[in-house]
Structure 1
């Protein structure tokens, strides 16, 4: 069997024309359901710790569109990612605002949208993820539901394959472990959190009043009802 060149078990080295970062990202990403579950946990942790939705880094909106779900990250400094889950598959894009792959640095010179499967093109062309008419994307991958692998996207033809695109750090929390995310929360929010509590939420186990109060004494379970429903976090609230 001839493996697609971005397979984890393919020979080393990216295929010609594809950016190294996107190829490595496609090789190491887990399946979409694992990513969706992780995104839900990240979003609920932010909802527990941060009352104002506009100040949160992570979110999941199961009501994004008919039959579509949107998971997203926005660090407030111009860097972001989004993952759109549709009946056909998943579109994942990241934007590192300092990357040379930004269309503001040198406009994308390929019709890369044409390389995205038709059912996923509306997600890839979503106006919400553009700025001044340009797509906010420096790295992207897609995967149809019957695929076994993620497919990296070539955005430009005129850059070195090893051009930084944000793929090595933008998705760190999606790929990380409980302890690393607990350390991140402590650093950002200047609070102490138990990695076991963080792991409980990231594993999508049912929330309890005690758990919420341990993570944030100023929040109550009832405060999270709307967020939990929108995020699609399972279990009784």
Structure 2
């Protein structure tokens, strides 16, 4: 959704269980396509009962999604958007960004892994407590044309069949991508040798299968 900011993002994010599987699928796809140069990652045992999905494009833009028993905490940083904390000499968040963040998830805004020089660098922040029926964000307001980078950062997570990832992969890896095979990965299909080789004939299936299994992905 072009022009989407945090308020629109929380209306489009899927159920946490669906989001987790999409995050896992992105990490599996990146393992198949990218070898060691990864953009998307997933750690099912990042903390005690906590999984972490992340994206880092190497150009200053990133996100993290924490799947905690208490709920899901999501944040992103688009270094070129209007909401960047770097718009001020002393970094400051966009007004309202963290307002309403529930105590059960608030510690993640202070998590050292998510800070740069002691500051939580974020342009997008959203959450969904366990038992809640909707995603939430702070009362952020944007004028026409202003952006917090939500559309740029989270496009792949809003896409049910992997089309956005396939578009991105074709651009990044500069070769055609089998969109049906990408969709199969997103649908949860077993990660067979045939499926992996449809995506990348040069991939080492045994290595991919071991990594995918460690991520919790179904293989034959």
Assess same fold via TM > 0.5: yes
Task: Give the corresponding residue for 2:137.
Answer: 152
Deviations 1:42-85 (A, max 9, x none): 11010011221xx2111110011111000111111111111100
How many angstroms apart in 2 are the aligned matches of 1:109 and 1:193?
38
Which aligned segments of 4 or more residues in structure 1 are displaced greater than 4 angstroms?
Answer: 109-114, 159-162
Task: Give the corresponding residue for 2:44.
Answer: 62
Residues 61/134 of structure 1: CA separation in 2 closer, same or farther (3 Å cut)? same
Task: Give the corresponding residue for 2:106.
Answer: 121
Task: Give the corresponding residue for 2:14.
Answer: 30
Task: Give the corresponding residue for 1:189.
Answer: 173
The yes-or-no answer on 1:229 pairing with 2:213 is yes
Task: Give the corresponding residue for 1:102.
Answer: 84
TM-score (norm 1): 0.82
Residues 154/127 of structure 1: CA separation in 2 closer, same or farther (3 Å cut)? farther
Q: Does the 8 Å CA contact 1:103/1:134 hold for their aligned counterparts? A: no
From 210, 220, 230, give the equivalent of 2:204.
Answer: 220
Q: Does the 8 Å CA contact 1:91/1:123 hold for their aligned counterparts? A: yes
From 32, 51, 57, give the equivalent of 2:35.
Answer: 51
More divergent stretch after superposition (174-183 vs 116-125): 174-183
Q: How many residues align?
A: 212
TM-score (norm 2): 0.87
Runs of 5+ unmatched residues, structure 1: 1-19
Runs of 5+ unmatched residues, structure 2: none
The yes-or-no answer on 1:209 pairing with 2:206 is no
Alpha-carbon deviation of 1:86? 0.2
Q: Does the 8 Å CA contact 2:85/2:94 hold for their aligned counterparts? A: no
Alpha-carbon deviation of 1:224? 1.5
How many angstroms apart in 1 are the aligned matches of 2:214 and 2:100?
32
